[in-house]
């Protein structure tokens, strides 16, 4: 039998989405076929230490404490330090244990960076892996950076002729210099508004603002996560998402669309995405064949415009005037509640086969 492909699963990280990255990694590790793939689990602590962790998926699952509250997993610093190759072409990972003893982890065939948010999903880790010649799963440096920055990705998509949801960008220095002017400009869009960090995900730092008095606290919260914030007026329409997978022939593959059904006057926040709630996901979404074909075409086009590779999830609104793109996620969640694997499962590609296909695409990628 051929030797298993060695996959270094990279998770955790310095962003506010650290715990979600851990949960996602647990899902990936559970789905990887051990007869085909050997896992090296590399957990990045909150302060950026690369550590060798357990590959037991149960260690990275959502749990509950003695009071029934949800407990999210985190990467603990166990004293080990995983080192990247010292030159391009090596692909050998080494680990220094807590006692200072160095050992080889062997050559890695491909890295699977299950990192969400800054310092991982934004092109930084992708660039580092390319510097040492390590193949990896997912989008490259440019597409990752563009996808992470909601304001910049909207500008690029709009320039390419793709309709996007309206937005305004505010920098922290503008907010600090004249809070009143920024608040007045934002209020001119009408209420409700949604205030978001430009470069964060999993609904971290996102607020729905229904009145002027709530605007300043929402901006302060968003600026805790990023130096640039976007303000979006409410879009009246259905939230439709499409999972996109790179094609072997270069043509993007799209899943059947899914729909987020949000409780009245609510929004799809962190708790709804990962802890459950009144919100629900429908996949496939109840759409006409015409609308389904249209949104899948838009998703494929957005994938190509941003230069994506591997995977992405394209989020849209279906309004009375047609579809508008809200954002694109280049490393969408893979938790049991996540839309991306659900949509592919509904399209006929089960979770484990999806993970294997992403690994194969990473192995074949030309950077």
User: What pLDDT was estimated at residue 63?
Assistant: 83
Percentage of the chain exceeding pLDDT 70: 94
Element spanning 161, H or E: none
Instruction: Inform me whether the pLDDT recorded for 276 exceeds 90.
Output: no
Which residue would you say has higher pLDDT here, 118 or 158?
Answer: 158
Instruction: Inform me whether the pLDDT recorded for 335 exceeds 90.
Output: no
Mean per-residue pLDDT for 343-352? 95
> With contact defined as beta carbons under 8 Å apart, do 9 and 25 qualify?
yes
Mean per-residue pLDDT for 129-142? 97
User: What pLDDT was estimated at residue 36?
Assistant: 95
Q: How far apart are CA 146 and CA 123, in angstroms?
A: 9
User: What pLDDT was estimated at residue 277?
Assistant: 47
Mean per-residue pLDDT for 171-180? 94
User: What pLDDT was estimated at residue 294?
Assistant: 98
Residues in the chain, overall count? 367
Instruction: Inform me whether the pLDDT recorded for 60 exceeds 50.
Output: yes
What's the pLDDT tens digit per position in 27-59? Answer: 999 999 999 999 999 999 999 999 999 999 999
Which structural domains are found in the chain, ordered by start? 5-136 (3.40.50.20), 147-163+236-364 (3.30.470.20), 168-233 (3.30.1490.20)
Distance in angstroms between the alpha carbons of the first and the last residue of the chain: 30
Mean per-residue pLDDT for 73-78? 97
Mean per-residue pLDDT for 324-328? 95
What's the pLDDT tens digit per position in 192-207? Answer: 999 999 887 656 788 9
> With contact defined as beta carbons under 8 Å apart, do 364 and 44 qualify?
no
> With contact defined as beta carbons under 8 Å apart, do 235 and 324 qualify?
yes
User: What pLDDT was estimated at residue 334?
Assistant: 80
User: What pLDDT was estimated at residue 65?
Assistant: 78
User: What pLDDT was estimated at residue 279?
Assistant: 55
Contacts of 318 (CB under 8 A, 6+ apart): 237, 238, 240, 287, 291, 295
pLDDT-derived band at 278, boundaries 50, 70, 90? very low
What's the pLDDT tens digit per position in 338-347? Answer: 899 999 999 9
Q: In 53-179, at which residue ranges do the beta strands (DSSP E only) sit?
A: 63-64, 70-71, 81-83, 92-96, 102-107, 110-114, 168-171
Sheet holding 228-233, edge to edge: 168-171, 228-233, 193-197, 207-209
Place of tokens 């989008």: 139
Mean per-residue pLDDT for 145-151? 94
User: What pLDDT was estimated at residue 179?
Assistant: 93
For the entire predicted model, the pTM comes to 0.89
Which residue would you say has higher pLDDT here, 177 or 278?
Answer: 177
């Amino acid at each position: 039998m051929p030797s298993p492909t060695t996959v270094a699963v990279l998770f955790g990280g310095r962003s506010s989405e650290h715990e979600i990255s851990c949960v996602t990694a647990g899902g990936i590790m559970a789905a990887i076929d051990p007869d085909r793939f050997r896992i090296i689990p590399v957990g990045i602590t909150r302060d950026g230490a690369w550590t060798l962790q357990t590959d037991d998926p149960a260690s990275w699952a959502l749990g509950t404490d003695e009071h029934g509250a949800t407990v999210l997993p985190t990467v603990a610093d166990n004293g080990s330090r995983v080192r990247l190759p010292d030159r391009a072409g090596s692909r050998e990972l080494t680990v220094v244990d807590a006692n200072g003893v160095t050992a080889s982890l062997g050559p890695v065939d491909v890295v699977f960076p299950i990192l969400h948010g800054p310092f991982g999903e934004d092109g930084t880790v992708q660039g580092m892996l390319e510097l040492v010649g390590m193949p990896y799963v997912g989008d490259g440096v440019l597409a990752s950076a563009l996808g992470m920055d909601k304001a910049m990705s909207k500008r690029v998509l709009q320039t390419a002729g793709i309709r996007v949801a309206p937005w305004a960008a505010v920098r922290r220095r503008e907010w600090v210099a004249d809070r009143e002017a920024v608040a007045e400009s934002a209020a001119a869009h009408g209420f409700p508004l949604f205030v978001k960090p430009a470069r964060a995900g999993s609904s971290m730092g996102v607020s729905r603002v229904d009145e002027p008095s709530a605007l300043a606290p929402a901006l302060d919260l968003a600026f805790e996560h990023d130096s640039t914030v976007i303000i979006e007026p409410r879009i009246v329409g259905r939230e439709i998402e499409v999972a996109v997978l790179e094609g072997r022939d270069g043509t993007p593959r799209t899943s059947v669309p899914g729909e987020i059904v949000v409780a009245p006057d609510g929004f799809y926040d962190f708790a709804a995405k990962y802890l459950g709630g009144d919100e629900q996901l429908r996949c496939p979404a109840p759409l006409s064949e015409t609308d389904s074909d249209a949104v899948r075409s838009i998703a494929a086009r957005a994938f190509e415009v941003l230069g994506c590779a591997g995977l992405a999830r394209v989020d849209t609104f279906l309004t009375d005037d047609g579809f508008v793109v809200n954002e694109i996620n280049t490393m969408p969640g893979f938790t049991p509640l996540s839309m991306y694997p659900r949509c592919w499962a509904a399209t006929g590609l089960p979770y484990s086969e999806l993970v294997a296909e992403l690994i194969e695409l990473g192995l074949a990628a030309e950077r």
